[in-house]
Amino acid sequence: MRTIKGPGLFIAQFIDANEQLSTLDGMCAWAASLGFKGLQVPTWQSHMLDLAKAAESQAYCDEFLGTLARHGLELTELTCQRHGHLLAVHPAYDATVDGFAPAAVRGNPEARAEWAKGQLLLAAKAARQLGVDKIVSFSGSLLWPYFYPYPPAPEGLVDAGFRELARRWRPILDAYDEAGIDLCFELHPSEDLHDGATFERFLALVDGHKRCNLLYDPSHFLLQHMDYLGFIEIYHERIKAFHVKDAEFRPSARSGVYGGYQDWAGRPGRFRSPGDGQIDFRTIFSLLTAHGYDGWACLEWECYLKDRYRGAAEGAAFIAGHIIPVTEAAFDATMRPAIDEAQIGAVLGLGKPAR
């Protein structure tokens, strides 16, 4: 067993929230002042991390890491959710996701997907030069309009969608393997990989690829009414990253898990700041520690109710208070008698051991 690292902060929801948080140095100073020890950095905000420069210039990477180090911070992981999402987009969502891509490829789904692939490959190069070995991503989705079986999807449609998703990701997974980088999919509604069943289906199609791994975020599982503790027991060997994000589901007579097209305040299922929701983080930290997870615990703040700055300050303390320093010795070690093989036989009433 190893002690989980943290607290880390996924900075995506804080970038440009105020003038201080519009620069990397300002972000670092603010995060460090709250007690965070690491930053998880998205790859689509070039004024925080210029992905192209990081992939090509070791000097740029050294300067980036030096800025973090001056504030006592480490880089936990890079995240590429937007790029992964754009790798596979059902046509129904083309217009609504085009804003995630540069103007040159908007309105051209094939060019947009190729651009996203290029960004994901750049991220592997950047991660290697930055000294981290994990990248977080969404899977993208060709099938989300068909997630509910009415009308029933045409025979073979789901199989074809997963085969195509695997075809697009396989060369990226191979490139990550060459770079020594684990690709950690955040299982998320609106992505084809959104629960254990879909992850397993995809994993089989990429031949159990060793770089195909998981970011564990229990909030997405609670809102799907999944057993988020049992998930750790099943998939702990693939869990390489961890978002600390709380959630609640308040049963309603008006709407359910689909939310009734309401905004977050009106939905029965909502994200909350850590400690304000229903997720059993004490058991989560215990299970991850017991299974040897030695990565970072990173706050992802997406609370519909609480002020983000208060959520960040409380989140740092919340994570620090849940990290379990692993014991160096068994509590009963001094009570264990030291006996030889012959004595063991005698203890069991077996007499002298057979020769």
Radius of gyration over every alpha carbon of the chain, rounded to an integer in angstroms: 23
Mean pLDDT (the chain, rounded): 96
Q: Can you tell me the distance from the alpha carbon of 38 to that of 52, in angstroms, rounded to the nearest whole number?
A: 22
Q: For the segment 211-231, what is each residue's pLDDT rounded down to a tens digit?
A: 999 999 999 999 999 999 999
- Beta bridge partner(s), residue 134: 182
Q: What's the confidence (pLDDT) of residue 353?
A: 55
Domain residue ranges in the chain: 5-347
Residue 355 has, within 13 A of its CA and on its CB side, a CA count of 0
Q: For the segment 52-109, what is each residue's pLDDT rounded down to a tens digit?
A: 999 999 999 999 999 999 999 999 999 999 999 999 999 999 999 999 999 999 999 9
Q: What's the confidence (pLDDT) of residue 355?
A: 55
Residue 337's pLDDT band, with cuts at 50, 70 and 90, is confident
Q: What's the confidence (pLDDT) of residue 234?
A: 98
284-303: average pLDDT = 97
Q: What's the confidence (pLDDT) of residue 172?
A: 98
* Dihedrals phi, psi of 238, to nearest 5 degrees: -100, -10
180-206: average pLDDT = 98
Q: Is the full-model pTM beyond 0.85?
A: yes
Q: What's the confidence (pLDDT) of residue 107?
A: 97
Tell me which architecture the domain covering 5-347 has in CATH: Alpha-Beta Barrel (3.20)
257-280: average pLDDT = 97
Q: What's the confidence (pLDDT) of residue 321?
A: 98
Q: For the segment 157-177, what is each residue's pLDDT rounded down to a tens digit?
A: 999 999 999 999 999 999 999
Q: Residues of the chain with pLDDT > 90: what percent?
A: 92
Contacts of 121 (CB under 8 A, 6+ apart): 172, 175
197 and 227 Cβ atoms separated by less than 8 Å: no
